[in-house]
Structure 1
Amino acid sequence: MPGEGFSENDILRNRVALILVENLSVPFDRRVWQECQTLRDAGMTVHVICPRGTKRDSEAEVVLDGVHIHRYPLQAATGGPAGYAREYGSALWHTFRLARKIGRVDVVHACNPPDLLFLVARMLRRRGAKFIFDQHDLVPELYLSRFDRGQDFLYRGVCALERATYRAADVVIATNESYRQVARIRGGKRPEDLFVVRSAPVVERFHEVPVEPELKRGKPNLLCYLGVMGPQDGVDYALRALASLRDEVGRDDWHAVFVGAGDTFDEMVALSRELGLSGQVEFTGRVSDEDLLRYLSAADVCLSPDPLNPLNDVSTMNKVMEYMAMGKPMVSFELREARVSAGEAALYAPANDVAEFAKLVAVLLDDPEQRERMGKLGRERVRGPLAWGNSQAALIKAYERALG
């Protein structure tokens, strides 16, 4: 259990936490769900307001493992910034509506994006609640990386919303040291009000299952990508690297599987056809936990193709942590926080260089002993210095600070 080893806490016992999430349903959002369980085990009553899922997490209201989840209908954004304005406006209205129904709240814990949830927190602060800002993404950098519009008036707007969120927060939770520095310097937060709660997999959930050779579609090697497929996630870089692996490196002894979904899923399927990869590349969409373990257990090399941009360079990628939990080596582009997370469990291509990325995949395909060694190092990292237990302790301290 994520909360195992965290008994009730004198400061947190019988307090009420309200966690606000907009971009994923809960418990599908694993980081938020792990936080919920940790706070529950510390003695808090935990409520979550989040959007409904489509194929899962679809009930409007449910109590799951002692956590009270309130969900609202939400249409995902399409059509650029205007689409996001509609999505965020609808989400904010529903969040206000549900928050008013919950009653007394001691801590409101808002997870971005967007940087609009401080408005709900401000309402609850007038009733005595403390506000913890859990910064999952740097939204100004996300805007620059996703829309390629430069520092226009919308960029200035998201910067203003970030500043307002920092000002409203009693405590800020950062996902890594890079984000913590942004909160300290750009947000003007005091060091004692900043806590790093790294996203980390619950290692008991990630365990190898017997390899199913048929997943490799008759090839000796399986390459695996796991994660979201959005404009900034680099699936297009991965596909172009695979085309280079076949055409320039001369390797066709592999099958590749892309596990996940997102805004660019259909576009990436079309790109794979355009590159002539349809016979060697498989897109699964979102899969069950059981199928996820099947694919990762069979994988020989994992792909982390997030390109260098203002957001990715300073962000911790969940896929990197999950590859390491499964003991799998990976190839990544040279990103600051990717190296902090993976260390020697990855090989690093120069930023956004698909030809070099392909060559490093070939290096690992040719060296099973190196793959084994890298996988062991990664597993040790997520069971040691990067373990979720360390993040649990930091989360509890953040709440103690807010309530103390």
Structure 2
Amino acid sequence: MRGFAGKRRRVLIIVENLPSPFDRRVWQEANTLRDAGYQVSIICPTGKGYEKRYEVIDDIHIYRHPLPVEADGALGYAFEYGAALFWEFTLAWRVLLTRGFDIIHACNPPDLIFLVGGFFKLFGKKFVFDHHDINPELYEAKFGRRDFFYKLMVFFERLTFRTADVSIATNESYRRIAIERGGMDPDKVFVVRSGPKLDRLRILPPVPALKKGRKYLVGYVGVMGKQEGIDYLLRAARYIIQDKSRQDVHFGIVGGGTELDNLKAYAEELGIADYVTFTGRVPDQELLEMLNTADVCVNPDVANDMNDKSTMNKIMEYMALGKPIVQFDLTEGRFSAQEASLYAARNDEIDMAAKIMQLLDNQDLRQKMGEIGRARVVNELEWKYQVPVLLAAYEALDLRRPIPASQASGK
């Protein structure tokens, strides 16, 4: 791809919360831009299995930096974000002086990377904001209050949108926030959904050993955090196993995070530890084996403002593998899954348990819902349908005329 007076366009992607290529959305975006002719560099943290400080994968240059232990509490976050900003500035200069860049593509959280983007805009660089999480709502979900720090999050968010030449939203809810709360020009906000790539999410034969000798497996993949609602899932499991005397169901929970040890202890406290497998963070092959073996997949995300407006990658992954879903009734979750899911009353673990049992006891319904979900991904939501919108967002950096609103939405 040529631009900027005929030179090859050079993109620097900055992401703080996950290493590349582990962060699937970021890696898909990077590969898409590379395939379109862009020169791509990435700044990201190190992580388990991604300890190299510098490496080149598929012609994408990755610069990794250390971070403090994952934050928990205001002081911890301040320390983590301060360290990240130091490394992002340092490595951005390194990239500028070696490979160069014309565009900074910032992926939140947090909403502080605009400080890096805004600084380099002084030197004529463009700034693209890739809106992964709504941080004010994330703060409220974690700490349960709208205090000074919540208002600070809103302030940083607005400064991020003010700095951005173009913003990429993951769904229509996020697009409205960019326009209404962020004050962005609607013609500069593009919806690029986190559609899965089917060459990664492969349908494989089930692995019966993962059921631990039981008839059914209920699967979950995601972060082990407070707002992910795993405690609701564990209480639903306790109701199924103890109150309903269902010893034929096992639960496979895949993912790592700050709450993993607490959740293992909670399963012990509820008396269901023998019925739950916590894998921690695992390679793709083990994740795929668990999900392909599952009879039902679940999304127990807590009903709050953040989760209601957010599109969860796990839903797309379940659908790509043809799995029926049970989740709480949330706006974007319902938009993504539609008839591929049953919807429990918000934050009601008993109703979630009832919906899980309804599916376990009805093989025909499970098959029908799985087929609906798979077809929706194949025909509408797969990553290939998002590629034209992502590239249109980048073209908007150069075009002097406004982009019609009809092109700014990836439906």
- For 2:213 and 2:183, the matched residues in 1 are separated by 56
Per the TM alignment, residue 314 of structure 1 is displaced from its structure 2 partner at its CA by: 0.5
Structure 2 contact 103–126 (Cα < 8 Å) conserved? yes
Q: Which residue of 2 aligns with 1:35?
A: 29
Match of 2:205 in 1: 210
- State the Cα distance separating 1:383 from its structure 2 match: 1.0
Whether the 8 Å CA contact 1:314–1:336 is kept in 2: the answer is: yes
Match of 1:171 in 2: 166
Are residue 131 (structure 1) and residue 127 (structure 2) matched? Answer: yes
Distance 1:374 1:398 in 2: 34
Give the one of 367, 392, 396 matched to 2:387: 392
Letter in 1 for 2:81: Y
| TM-score of the superposed pair, with normalisation by structure 2 | 0.94
SS in 2 for 1:203: coil
One-letter amino acid of the structure 2 residue matched with residue 132 of structure 1: V
SS in 1 for 2:173: helix
Q: Output aligned runs, 1:2-17, within 5 Å.
A: 8=1, 14-17=8-11
Alignment partners' CA distance in 1, 2:312 and 2:289:
21
One-letter code of the match for 2:297? C
Of the three residues 1, 10, 19, the one matched with 2:13 is 19
Partner of 1:122: 118
Long gaps (5+) in structure 2: 400-411
Q: What is the rounded CA distance, in whole Å, between the counterparts of 2:308 and 2:2 in structure 1?
A: 36
Which residue in 1 is equivalent to 2:277?
A: 282
Q: Give the letter aligned to residue 135 of structure 1.
A: H
Answer yes or no: is the 8 Å Cα contact 1:207–1:326 preserved in 2. Answer: yes
The residue correspondences of 1:337-352 to structure 2 (distance < 5 A) are: 337-352=332-347
Name the counterpart of 2:54.
61
C-alpha distance in 1, partners of 2:141/2:396? 33
Aligned residues: 395
**Aligned pair partner of 2:193 in 198, 212, 233:** 198
CA contact (8 A) 2:241 2:249 kept: no
Tell me, in whole angstroms, the C-alpha distance in 2 between the residues paired with 1:222 and 1:13.
54
1:361-372 to structure 2, matched below 5 A, reads 361-372=356-367
Identity %: 49
Tell me the distance in 2 between the aligned counterparts of 1:79 and 1:128: 37
Contact 1:130 1:403 in 2 (8 A): no
Match of 1:71 in 2: 64
Name 2:294's counterpart in structure 1: 299
Ranges in structure 1 where 5+ consecutive residues have no aligned partner: 1-7
Matched, 1:154 2:149: yes
CA contact 1:20–1:108 (8 Å) conserved in 2 = yes
**Secondary structure at the residue paired with 1:137?**
coil
What are the Cα deviations for residues 19-56 of structure 1, in whole angstroms up to 9, with x where unaligned?
Answer: 010000000000000000000001010010000112x1
CA distance in 2, matches of 1:141, 1:322: 24
Task: Provide, for residues 208-249 of structure 1, a one-character-per-residue CA deviation record: whole Å limited to 9, x for no partner.
Answer: 222221111110101111011111111111101111112333
C-alpha distance after superposition, 1:103-153 (max 9, x if no partner): 2321100000110000000111111111110010000000000111x1111
Question: 2:226 is paired with a residue of what secondary structure?
Answer: coil
1:395 and 1:9, CA in 2 relative to 1: closer, same or farther beyond 3 A? farther
Q: Which amino acid aligns with 1:76?
A: V
Q: Is the 8 A contact 2:328 2:345 kept in 1?
A: yes
Distance 1:9 1:350, change over 3 A: farther
Q: Which residue of 1 aligns with 2:108?
A: 112
Q: Is the 8 A contact 2:196 2:381 kept in 1?
A: no
Residue deviations 1:315-356, cap 9 Å, x none? 001110000010000100000000000001110001000000
Which aligned pairs between 1:296-335 and structure 2 lie closer than 5 A? 296-335=291-330
1:222 pairs with 2:217: yes
Matched residue of 1:83: which SS?
helix
Mapped partners of 1:360, 1:249: distance in 2: 13
> Residue 10 of structure 1: CA displacement?
6.6
8 A contact 2:2–2:8 mirrored in 1: no
* Residue 90 (structure 2) aligned to one of 87, 97, 113: 97
